[in-house]
């Protein structure tokens, strides 16, 4: 399995999500030593839980599976640039590499909680300065899951606006 294979799995997870209004179709796969240890999609609306992002749910699955809270050596694949919460959680989890598809500039601003802070800069400025970041893998395929920067999302699907 290559990075692209894992990202395609994340895209498949995103498509499986029950994305009702206000829910973003985000998929995430966690890989350790060449094995998929967790895969999840956004379930914020389904669970009525603002922290139920795909990345967080994948980390919870990994913790339950591995019986520990840190996953050094793990690679996190996400269809969209991780938000501040998931970036921070990745640092706490000791994840070694983050690979994401759609970049911030490719999607509507409503997918991000902050106007100015870019989570990539945030990750680079973290004390854990050895986390590798790879942006834009299958970027166009991933971006097609989301509203674009110029789109006008329906009112009941808007977030952060
Ligand atoms: Zn997130």
pLDDT in tens, 82-132: 998 999 999 999 999 999 999 999 999 888 877 777 888 878 777 766 789
- Taking residues 35-54, report their average pLDDT: 94
What is the CA(87)–ligand 1 centre distance, in A?
7
Distance from the CA of 112 to the center of ligand 1, in angstroms? 9
Q: Is 138 in contact with 7 (CB distance < 8 Å)?
A: yes
pTM over 0.85? The answer is yes
Q: Which residues are known to be catalytic?
A: 55
In Å, what is the CA distance from 57 to each residue of 36, 93, 104, 117?
Answer: 14, 13, 21, 24
41 with 28: CB under 8 angstroms? Answer: yes
What's the confidence (pLDDT) of residue 118? 80
**Computed from CA positions of residues 50, 94, 17, 47, in that sequence, does the dihedral angle turn out positive or negative?**
negative
Calculate the average pLDDT of the chain: 91
Measured distance CA(13)–CA(139) in Å, rounded = 16
Distance 1 CA to ligand 1 centre (A): 25
Which residues are close to ligand 1, an ion, with C-beta < 5 A? 53, 83, 85-86
Q: Phi/psi at 38 (nearest 5 deg)?
A: -165, 150
Share of residues in the chain with pLDDT > 70 (%): 94
pLDDT at 21 over 60: no
pLDDT at 157: 81
pLDDT recorded at residue 130 = 76
Q: Is 20's pLDDT higher than 70?
A: no
Per-residue pLDDT band for 22 (boundaries 50, 70, 90) equals low
Distance from Cα 33 to the centre of ligand 1, integer Å: 24
């Amino acid at each position: 399995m290559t990075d692209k294979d894992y990202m395609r799995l994340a895209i498949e997870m995103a498509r499986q999500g029950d994305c009702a209004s206000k829910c973003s179709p985000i998929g995430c796969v966690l890989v350790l030593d060449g094995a998929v240890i967790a895969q999840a999609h956004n379930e914020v609306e389904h669970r009525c839980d603002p922290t139920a992002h795909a990345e967080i749910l994948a980390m919870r699955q990994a913790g339950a599976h591995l019986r520990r809270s840190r996953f050094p050596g793990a690679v996190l694949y996400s269809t969209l640039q991780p938000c501040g919460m998931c970036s921070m959680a990745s640092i706490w989890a000791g994840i070694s590499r983050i690979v994401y598809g759609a970049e911030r500039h490719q999607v509507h601003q409503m997918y991000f909680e902050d106007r100015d802070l870019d989570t990539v800069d945030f990750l680079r400025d973290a004390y854990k300065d050895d986390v590798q970041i790879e942006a834009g893998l299958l970027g166009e395929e991933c971006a097609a899951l989301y509203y674009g920067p110029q789109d006008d999302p329906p009112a009941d699907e808007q977030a952060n606006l």
